[in-house]
Chain A
């Protein structure tokens, strides 16, 4: 079954406001309010966890651009940028889409939630649990830079050993100019992480499965 979002773009009926090689933005034909735009990757990704880092950054850069343009085109009090990631988070279509929603007074929209009360102990437990999973974050960004700067091959090999498991994203990143040597190293490293990765993939597949169940 073809993705309805991919088909909609191909159909040419989308009212595009931005398009480059990877990203496309258009006015939502079923908007919350007029001007409600969607920023989506051209390639079919369902959730943000699947999407390569460089594309995630690019998507939100465009969302920012669209948000500013809407400020100027319409008389606004603000904008909301919302990504609903997964069926549990109210994602309706199985294609990653960032909503940019113009806000004005009395627009009858309300995106505020009622806070839950947690005690100090519960908060501390959650803090520790999350910290455990954010340890390796941000390292990739730094490593990427180092690889590009260092031209000598020896250094590249050395640095690439430190590439964390997040490097698996690079595989899906078509435009990423990794030279062969790094790739080989990465593959070796990946093999080590295979067990760990399988677990992760299972979880992701679960999320995707849920989305596929949407009629």
Chain B
């Protein structure tokens, strides 16, 4: 089925996702309809060799089910896929004589994701192999800025954990920073110290789920539009 750009514009996100799923090359590979160099396969995940490898042995590990980004995947599968990733990393050390591995994930086009199917890159490395892109640059952070951000982020995580109600995990709750001890003071401090922008963030926390899905939608939308 050929679609022109105008048709694509008029499709709902659901329809678009459906079309993309059908056209997803990695779903085809998972089904076995398209050939690939499979190095591992079970009922949930499949590991194939990247045809444009950073190094010989560069493996892509993907869920058979179509997910675009990591946050869409259920926890059990996330857990499982990385245990397998560990095993493949281990196998690469032996099989291609690597002395290290990079495990790399890009969530979203802005992060360098190229295909609309979630995947884990496992890249075998040896000394002086000429790959420079995994040297993560460093800078000095503003301590106060870190303090504020850590509070906002830890609050989001705490609410998210409460929603999930994971009983087997004992969360150790971060103490509120002194500057934010009482609720009134939180408000006054926030408007004073954090400025309007940060206040917006607190509002975002409140209609959290909405904002989250909107944000994720944006990212998946970008992927959808990528042909």
Contact = CB atoms under 8 A, between A and B. Distances in A.
| Chain A contact patch, size range | 35 or more
Contacts, number: 295
Given A88-B98, A116-B55, A68 B212 contact: yes
Contacts of B51: 123
B21 to A, nearest CB: 21
B150 A129 contact: no
B84 A27 contact: no
Contact of A48 (B89, B96, B104, B172): B89
A28 B126 CA distance: 27
A16 B216 contact: no
Main secondary structure of the interface of A (DSSP, over half): mixed
Interface of A: 15-21, 26-37, 48-49, 51, 53, 56-61, 64-74, 76-91, 99, 101, 103-105, 109-116, 118, 122-124, 126-127, 129-134, 137-138, 141, 166, 203, 206-207, 210
A101 B100 CA distance: 21
B86 A49 contact: yes
B95 interface: yes
A77 B219 contact: yes
B47 A134 contact: yes
B87 A26 contact: no
B146 A29 contact: yes
Query: Top 7 A-B pairs ranked by shortest CB distance?
Result: A86-B100, A78-B108, A77-B110, A78-B111, A57-B79, A89-B100, A115-B52
